[in-house]
Amino acid sequence: MRVIVVGGGIGGLATGVALRKEGFDALVIEQAPALLAIGAGLGFGANAMRALDYLGVGDLARELAIDTQAWIYRSLSDDRELQRIPLGEQATRKYGETYYSLHRANVIDPLIKSLPPECLRLGARVSDVEERPEGIGVTLESGEEIRGDVLVGADGLKSVVRTTIFGEQESLFTGLIAWRTVIPNEFIPEVAALSSLVGWMGENRFVVTYPVSKSTLNLSAYVPANEVHRESWTASGDVADLRKSFAGACAPVAKILSQVQEAFLTGIHFRPPLATWSTQRVALVGDSAHAMGPFSGNGAAFAIEDAVTLAICLRRLAASQGVEAALTDYSRRRIPRVNRAMTAARARSIHAAIKDPALTHARDGRMRGLGRLDPTGELDWAWLYGFDPIKSAQQPLAELGSEFHNPMHRSESQRAFDLWRNAIQPSDHAGSWLAERAAYERFMLRECVPSQAMAVEELDCDGIAALRVVPPLGEHGPIVLHLHGGGFAMGSARAAVDVAGRWAQALGGWALVPDYRLAPEHPYPAALEDALRAYRWLAANRKQPIFVTGEGAGGALALSLVTMLRDAGQQLPDAIHIVSPLCDLSLSAPSIDANTAREPWLQREFLTSLAASYLHDTDPRLPLVSPLYANLKTLPPLLIHAAADEALRDDAVRLAHVAKQAGLDVEIELLPDTVHSFVLFDFLPEARQALAQFAAFVASRQALPMSAGVH
């Protein structure tokens, strides 16, 4: 079988080597007259090194590579450390190999030497490709046609193969331009001696340096496109413009940039994910399939993973099931992993391009929080570096498993699960916390629509904006102070009107929903301060009984609020009701990992992001941050609900245990076959059940007559 590979970059060369290793006749076609290692630096973790070992060039790459000891993120303005991810020996223990920084030439040269001269054709520009029932044809600009059985597009961002076979698709510009160069270590020994990747994050700009040899340091400096005028690997910009873009940067960055004599420019683009990378006889690898920019640090590594996976799939399946089946198998097993990386890369590019000083401050605080909760970076990187592309390619696709395990049995539960699953999409995660927040708000407003019978009034509670939600006949009844969920970073009073109104209706009263400030722009204790001010205003202006409710993060805020009131000797509410509480921001609950298959997106990675946004530099075990660690003595009666199989189940269980030990009047109920924060969905029987149980709970404590509740 003859396979034509269009493109002689790292992905194309690796594909050619992998195909020959698996017994195929491979020809790599490259338009350039010579293969140059343009772009300088690369970073390879254990995943990429396993693939290079499979290709037979791993040891050659290691000989000249630098064992990178850490990734260090710092503030561009003052050089403050934001986050440090240890590599070196720790990466070797965790993933089986250290993380290497190396020059692109140290990968390209061994790959070229692994291909016989007749398998690599340079100076051959492709003008057209054609897929036929009996094979493929590649037409060069000279008019020559080269025929084969399979075509692999490895021709980069502006892929001719991709455009011809899959149709035109515009690349999307990030708005950033990269200055790239290498600097001799002798000019900046104190930086080069770190043997680490160091990134300085600023407002709509950042700088990354790392050693690519014992004598040179790679530099990439990203700035807004309107600050430069050329974007080509072959065009050098005026380095005076580079220094102007970083005027006011901290001393280490200023010193590095003072040594730059020449730098090349390139625009940073990416492409939206494709639904498939293959047809009957054509497949894509590398940037042709998944251009993601430099923000994942794994573009070349993923191209090599693609190459070995494609070759192994062809060997496993082409002879027995046909070429199309083999290429489909390759596409299906690669797309989920690569799409995850593309989402992460896009989010990082947006984080880097934040312009607003307040949002930049929030981003930096969130990074410090992530460093506190995940000091080894395992949540971000274990899935990436711990991956074995050879083993994965050889494993039958069915054994790789699916994302979820059809967890729900009742139709209502499955409906709620599907709603949660689609609430925040990968494209929202790619847009960082602002896009996630907007998606959550859209979801809540769409799915949690209040009854038209509920009256909604805007109030100012001593400077805190809030909504007063009055169900029918609830005007003069007891008051529910409701604190909405959303992980401290999402949600709003407006989106919580429905659930707050139903909570109030269960008690025959009305609800006040404060619009507390959200993280990471406003970390701890901002939300708690707002809740406290709203409660004090309420207690000073109303004489009815007050009850505090909350779900998710709102449940934690409810407990922390009442604890503060008790410690200040102030009036306490009559009872507390919380659902699915996020009451331990150290995220030590075993159920977070044990119930992964039953959580659409409230997984450890996302929970960590939410917690880090709220924490910044705060200890997650501080009692007012995580009320699981608080002294709960003398608090009002407490009712806790949670789903039996949700991620935060153990938070609810442990909280009930701590409350009982403190002598609190507490009840807990874990409801089977339902979702996190189930009380949001009024179509769920257990949502109505939980609210009715709260009314009964209150009445049994003689705070209200049973007739006030909903039965």
Domain ranges of the chain: 2-393, 454-469+483-701
pLDDT in tens, 574-600: 999 999 999 999 999 999 999 887 888
**pLDDT at 190 (0 to 100):** 64
Close Cβ partners of 420 (under 8 Å, ≥ 6 residues apart):
600, 601, 602, 675, 676
Which residues, given as ranges, of the chain have pLDDT below 50?
Answer: 231-234, 402-404, 705-711
DSSP code of 633? Answer: T
Sign of the Cα torsion 672, 675, 677, 680 reads: negative
**pLDDT at 231 (0 to 100):** 46
**pLDDT at 349 (0 to 100):** 87
Q: How far apart are CA 325 and CA 8, in angstroms?
A: 26
Yes or no: say if 627 and 559 are a contact pair by the CB < 8 Å rule. yes
Q: What is the pTM of this model?
A: 0.92
**pLDDT at 396 (0 to 100):** 79
Looking only at Cα atoms, what is the longest distance across the chain? 92
pLDDT in tens, 131-171: 998 999 999 999 999 999 999 999 998 899 999 998 887 78
Q: What is the 3-state secondary structure (H, E, C) of 238-292?
A: CHHHHHHHCCCCCHHHHHHHHCCCCCEEEEEEECCCCCCCECCCEEECCHHHHCC
Q: How far apart are CA 605 and CA 378, in angstroms?
A: 10
Q: How far apart are CA 265 and CA 271, in angstroms?
A: 20
**pLDDT at 35 (0 to 100):** 79
Q: How far apart are CA 667 and CA 338, in angstroms?
A: 45
CATH 3.50.50.60 fits 2-393, yes or no: yes
Cis peptide before 520 (omega within 30 of 0): yes
Q: In this structure, how many other beta carbons lie within 10 angstroms of the beta carbon of residue 284?
A: 31
CA-wise closest residue to 708 among 512, 468, 473: 473
**pLDDT at 292 (0 to 100):** 84
Residue with tokens 């996190």: 676
Tokens, residue 346: 């896009």
Q: Which helix (H) or strand (E) element contains residue 657?
A: helix 649-661
Topology of domain 454-469+483-701 in CATH is Rossmann fold (3.40.50)
Q: How far apart are CA 79 and CA 72, in angstroms?
A: 11
CA-wise closest residue to 27 among 156, 124, 144, 96: 124
Q: Is 339 exposed, middle or buried (0-12, 13-18, 19+ CB in 10 A)?
A: middle
Distances 196 to 37, 66, 188, 584, 606 between C-alpha atoms, Å: 22, 9, 14, 33, 27
Q: In this structure, how many other beta carbons lie within 10 angstroms of the beta carbon of residue 658?
A: 18
Coil vs helix vs strand at 462 = coil
Coil vs helix vs strand at 515 = coil
